Amino acid sequence: MEPTVTPETRKQAQRRLRIIAGQLQALEKQIDEDRYCMDVLDLSMSIQKALRSLDGIVIEGHLRTHVIEQMTGGETERAVGELLRLYKVQGPAES
């Protein structure tokens, strides 16, 4: 299937990636400077949260494009299989 990313999804994902890149550079600097462990952990957890946010942007884009196309184009099992695979890898949302 051809990639079909909407311009808005691409813009949001690129913005999120620039933020993550800056955070990674800052994390590397903290480690190089032997910063306090809690500072390093705080930034690391912020990066993980930013990555989850990026995942959300990509998942929403996938649902709004590919999944709809698959469901309306007779590829229901493929759509379900992909979403189940994602769910199994990611696991259920934490409460």
Each residue's pLDDT tens digit, 36-80: 999 999 999 999 999 999 999 998 998 988 899 999 999 999 999
For residue 27, give the CATH number of its domain: 1.20.58.1000
Domain that holds residue 41: 7-90
Where do the H-state alpha helices sit in 1-95? 7-32, 37-62, 68-72, 76-90
Q: Flag whether 61 is in a domain.
A: yes
Q: What is the pLDDT of residue 3?
A: 58
Q: Flag whether 2 is in a domain.
A: no
Question: Looking at the whole model, is its pTM more than 0.85?
Answer: no
Q: Flag whether 15 is in a domain.
A: yes
Distance, in Å, from the CA atom of 27 to the CA atom of 34, rounded to the nearest integer, reads: 11
Domain count, the chain: 1
Distance, in Å, from the CA atom of 60 to the CA atom of 10, rounded to the nearest integer, reads: 12
Q: Flag whether 1 is in a domain.
A: no
